[in-house]
Amino acid sequence: MNCARCHDHKYDPLTQKDYYGMFAFFHNVPESGVGTYSAPIRRNTPPFLKLPSPETQEKLATLNRELTEANQRLTNLTATVLSADRVEWEDRARSAVPPWSEAETLNANAGTNSLAIKEPGGWVQVPSLKPDVRKVTMAVRVPQSRVTAVQIELALASDNSATNSSKVSVSKLKLVRAESPEAEKHPLPLRPRTLAGSAPAADLAKALDEKAGSSWTVTLSADRTELGAFELLEVARSSNNVMVKLELDLAPDDLLPAWQLRLRATDVASDLLVPPDILAVVRKPAAERTAEERKQVDDFRLAHHPENLALSQHVADLKKRIDETDLSIPITLVMEEMAEPRPTFVLVRGAYDKKGELVTASTPSHLPAFLSGQPTNRLGLARWLVDPGNPLTARVTVNRLWQSLFGVGLVRTTEDFGTRGELPSHPELLDWLALEFVRTDWDVKQMMKLLVTSATYRQDSRATPALRAVDPENRLLARGPRYRLSAEMIRDQALAISGLLVEKWGGPSVKPYHPSGLYEQVVSGTGPSTYVQGKGDELYRRSLYTYWKRSVPNPAMLVFDAPFRETCTVRRARTTTPLQALNLLNDPTYVETARFLAQRMMREGGATPQSRIRQGFRLATGREPRSAELSVLVTGWRRMEASFRGDRPAAERLLTVGETRTDPASDPAELAAYSVVASTLLNLDEAITKE
């Protein structure tokens, strides 16, 4: 049908209009894509179905319950906080200039040089600094045993007569406990506060953020001390007086004349560090306050009430966790019709910008007519596809099922039922199977059962030379199918035979063994550029779950004719190459699998080499070995065992391949010899061939 995108089909009765008629069924989705190249986001365009696991559902329910409770507690608390001690708080707030206590300055440094301290007041004297010295630190002891806030004070140096103003830019400010070097690694979390006469919190915040080029800048003048107040979000407590260390990084842009610095502290509650606007409201008589002002005061108190703060934080955390959990739920996208169908045109020569005739959704004219009374949308299309009066869908489907069991379809060109496709070898059989498929309600399992239990499928795959000459490809089905297994089946079978297969269902893709260096040669510098091998069970899942990167598909799969998955492939080639032999002989997957099969043979196969090898042969081929076959393998094992007996390190090295460990009680030479036999079994033509 794809040919008809640009022109009427050359061989089949498909017009270009047919193509765009079919196209119109799907050109009708409101999907617009979400996120952009530079800012991808993880949410998808609705509609979609969320498919949470029971564990996730349980977790979400718990979190939502906790959120409801926390919100309730928060509401109750709000009422209590605001009503309980309003009068008392306002009294204290009105008198509020926070009682900053002078602290004892213990020492101070600029870079590695110690700085002078001027008393009274503990003022640290900062001289004109060299350009490479940008860090000033000072340690103080405060008179309290608990500190809730500090105030940093900057002024021109008292002996600075040269200038009458100076600019100081603090690009980074850090406060740490000074009791131990360990405590110094954990800065105290700070919140800038706006107070009467001190710098606005927004300015102070510039000294706390990590942004380059952002700093708290003050202009010092002779008659004025610049102040900055910071609340400690974790109250610093000590059995004795609290000691803290202040670190300032100065912006490197200007050379400063001498200035001075000190730090003072307080232990008043956070809600008594009252900013000027709130203070102004509180100083008004209650009756004169507007509703807006009353709310302003309430909000301030709530925002600085420790218990309320903790609870609000808890609520925010819960919401965040709920959101994260929600985003972790796998979803499946659902297609939605647009309310007003998008106009669809025939595109002249297939060019996206060359619109031709306007078309509406329709099925190809040479196929059975669209069902009357059905909507001309995807639902109607789906019903038309599987309508008993439309034989094509069922024929194509059973032909593919046939191919999956017999290796060749009744119509060999499974992908092409047009005039260039091949005619069926058994037309009546194909029709009967198609009708049977419809009659049994499109039950795939039932159809597979019918096929595998048929006399045709159960025939012996042997053929006399005469029969082979007449029908080399077995199109007449006078014998059973015989062909090499698919890439996925070969690996899965080896894992299953050896007992390594992990039969877990579902989940994200996994990364089994993979040669190193393949990604690095071809991928660009961005994104995951290397293959990180999975661990444990992930190495032994069915190949269905193997991670697939289209630009570098799994090489072992490609070797066995797995398609690239860039285009739809319903029929794979089936080749035989030396690269396949190298893969089955040397890929760690199969070396490890052989060792596991060897262990299984030794465990389940009795005590003699004969019985053990017989067991391995049965597992690999599904039949008993003939005596000649057994004799080759047993003789081979004896020779290999003797060889490893004389070269124990080699045996041990062979047993190290793969992530699983070998039973330390096992005899290396013996196990290595069985591993080689197991590898022989896994490489048998019969083992990787269906017959």
Partner 1 sequence: MTPMKPPAFDPMQMTRRQFLGRAATGIGVAALAGLLNPGLRGAPDSVKPVLPHFAPKARRVICLTQAGAPSQLDLFDYKPHLRARFKEELPESVRGGQRLTGMTSGQKTLPVAPSLFEFKQHGKSGIWLSELLPHTARIVDELCVIRSLNTEAINHDPAMTFLQTGSQQAGRPSLGAWLSYGLGTENQNLPAFVVMISRPSGPTNAQPLHERMWGAGFLPSLHQGVRFSPGQDPVLFLSNPPGITDQRRRAMLDDLARLNHMKFDDYQDPEIQTRIAQYELAYRMQASVPELTDLSKEPRSTFELYGPESSKPGTYAANCILARRLAERGVRFIQLYHRGWDQHDKLPEGIRSQCFDTDQPTAALIQELRQRGLLDDTLVIWGGEFGRTVYSQGELTEKNYGRDHHPRCYTIWMAGGGIKPGIVFGETDDYSYNIARDPVPIHDLNATILHCLGIDHERLIYRYQGRDFRLTDIHGNLVKQVLV
The phi-psi region of residue 517 (left if phi > 0; otherwise alpha if psi is between -120 and 50; otherwise beta) is left
Among the listed ranges 205-213, 245-253, 276-284, 578-586, the one in contact with partner 1 (CB under 8 A) is: 578-586
Q: Does 484 bind partner 1 (CB under 8 A)?
A: yes
Are the C-beta atoms of 273 and 98 separated by less than 8 Å? Answer: yes
The residues near 22 (Cβ < 8 Å, ≥ 6 apart) are 1, 361, 362, 363, 364
Query: Of these, 561, 610, 645, 659, which contacts partner 1 (CB under 8 A)?
Result: 561
Q: Residue 665 CB, nearest distance to partner 1 (Å)?
A: 19
610: its two tokens: 């004969």
Nearer to partner 1, 318 or 651 (CB): 651
Rounded Cα gap, residues 126 and 105, in angstroms: 14
Q: Does 15 bind partner 1 (CB under 8 A)?
A: no
Sign of the CA dihedral running 26, 30, 31, 36: positive
Rounded Cα gap, residues 522 and 527, in angstroms: 12
Q: Residue 504 CB, nearest distance to partner 1 (Å)?
A: 27
Q: Could you tell me how far CA 442 lies from the centroid of its own chain?
A: 36
Rounded Cα gap, residues 108 and 314, in angstroms: 39
Binders of partner 1 in range 157-176 (CB under 8 A)? none
Nearer to partner 1, 469 or 607 (CB): 469
Q: Does 480 bind partner 1 (CB under 8 A)?
A: no
Query: Of these, 574, 603, 623, 638, which contacts partner 1 (CB under 8 A)?
Result: 574
Query: Of these, 32, 112, 180, 567, which contacts partner 1 (CB under 8 A)?
Result: 567
Q: Does 472 bind partner 1 (CB under 8 A)?
A: yes
Binders of partner 1 in range 349-408 (CB under 8 A)? none
Nearer to partner 1, 256 or 467 (CB): 467
Among the listed ranges 28-36, 99-107, 128-136, 625-633, the one in contact with partner 1 (CB under 8 A) is: 625-633
The angle subtended at Cα 651 by Cα 650 and Cα 656, nearest 5°, is: 95
Q: Which residue in 425, 439, 426 sits closest to 391, CA to CA?
A: 439
Rounded Cα gap, residues 236 and 248, in angstroms: 20
Binders of partner 1 in range 408-427 (CB under 8 A)? 412-413, 415-416, 418-421
Rounded Cα gap, residues 188 and 247, in angstroms: 12
Q: Residue 353 CB, nearest distance to partner 1 (Å)?
A: 11
Rounded Cα gap, residues 655 and 592, in angstroms: 8
Q: What's the Cα-to-Cα distance from 410 to each of 2, 314, 475, rounded to whole Å?
A: 24, 66, 8
Q: Residue 531 CB, nearest distance to partner 1 (Å)?
A: 13
Query: Of these, 352, 521, 528, 665, which contacts partner 1 (CB under 8 A)?
Result: 521
Nearer to partner 1, 381 or 633 (CB): 633
Rounded Cα gap, residues 263 and 138, in angstroms: 9
Q: Residue 564 CB, nearest distance to partner 1 (Å)?
A: 6
Own/partner pairs, 312-319, CB within 8 angstroms, 24+ separation: 312/74, 314/70, 315/67, 315/70, 315/71, 315/74, 318/63, 318/66, 318/67, 318/70, 319/67
Residues facing residue 154 across a β-bridge: 226, 261
Helix intervals (H) in 518-587? 518-522, 555-559, 578-586
Binders of partner 1 in range 647-686 (CB under 8 A)? 649-657, 672, 676, 679-680, 683-686
Nearer to partner 1, 275 or 481 (CB): 481
The identity of residue 104, as a single letter, is E
Sign of the CA dihedral running 520, 522, 526, 528: negative
Among the listed ranges 97-105, 129-137, 189-197, 465-473, the one in contact with partner 1 (CB under 8 A) is: 465-473
Query: Of these, 582, 606, 638, 642, which contacts partner 1 (CB under 8 A)?
Result: 582
Query: Of these, 280, 392, 452, 579, which contacts partner 1 (CB under 8 A)?
Result: 579
Q: Does 581 bind partner 1 (CB under 8 A)?
A: yes
Among the listed ranges 237-245, 366-374, 442-450, 632-640, the one in contact with partner 1 (CB under 8 A) is: 632-640
Query: Of these, 255, 639, 642, 660, which contacts partner 1 (CB under 8 A)?
Result: 639
Q: Residue 392 CB, nearest distance to partner 1 (Å)?
A: 15
Nearer to partner 1, 90 or 415 (CB): 415
Residue with tokens 């040089």: 113
Q: Residue 526 CB, nearest distance to partner 1 (Å)?
A: 9
Query: Of these, 578, 627, 664, 665, which contacts partner 1 (CB under 8 A)?
Result: 578
Among the listed ranges 103-111, 234-242, 312-320, 634-642, the one in contact with partner 1 (CB under 8 A) is: 634-642
Rounded Cα gap, residues 384 and 374, in angstroms: 9
Binders of partner 1 in range 424-463 (CB under 8 A)? 461-463
Query: Of these, 247, 629, 659, 667, which contacts partner 1 (CB under 8 A)?
Result: 629
14: its two tokens: 């498909």
The residues near 496 (Cβ < 8 Å, ≥ 6 apart) are none
Nearer to partner 1, 337 or 561 (CB): 561
Site string for partner 1, 523-552 (x = CB under 8 A): xxx------------------------xxx
Among the listed ranges 72-80, 309-317, 321-329, 517-525, the one in contact with partner 1 (CB under 8 A) is: 517-525
Q: Does 12 bind partner 1 (CB under 8 A)?
A: yes
Q: Does 127 bind partner 1 (CB under 8 A)?
A: no
Please name the helix (run of DSSP H) or strand (run of DSSP E) that holds residue 72, with its range, or none: helix 54-84
Nearer to partner 1, 217 or 583 (CB): 583
Output helix, strand, coil percentages for the chain, rounded to the nearest 5.
40, 15, 45
Query: Of these, 564, 603, 642, 646, which contacts partner 1 (CB under 8 A)?
Result: 564
Q: Which residue in 187, 314, 309 sits closest to 248, CA to CA?
A: 187
Please name the helix (run of DSSP H) or strand (run of DSSP E) that holds residue 333, with its range, or none: strand 331-333
The phi-psi region of residue 659 (left if phi > 0; otherwise alpha if psi is between -120 and 50; otherwise beta) is alpha
Helix intervals (H) in 266-390? 276-283, 291-303, 306-327, 378-385
The SS3 of residue 291 is helix
Sign of the CA dihedral running 395, 398, 404, 405: negative
Q: Does 473 bind partner 1 (CB under 8 A)?
A: yes
The identity of residue 392, as a single letter, is L
Question: How many residues lie near partner 1 (CB under 8 A)?
Answer: 91
Are the C-beta atoms of 102 and 204 separated by less than 8 Å? Answer: no
Q: Residue 345 CB, nearest distance to partner 1 (Å)?
A: 21
Query: Of these, 306, 507, 555, 622, which contacts partner 1 (CB under 8 A)?
Result: 555
Q: Residue 651 CB, nearest distance to partner 1 (Å)?
A: 6
Q: Residue 44 CB, nearest distance to partner 1 (Å)?
A: 25
Q: Does 485 bind partner 1 (CB under 8 A)?
A: no
Q: Does 468 bind partner 1 (CB under 8 A)?
A: yes
Q: Does 67 bind partner 1 (CB under 8 A)?
A: no
Query: Of these, 363, 583, 593, 615, which contacts partner 1 (CB under 8 A)?
Result: 583
The identity of residue 88, as a single letter, is E
Binders of partner 1 in range 497-516 (CB under 8 A)? 515
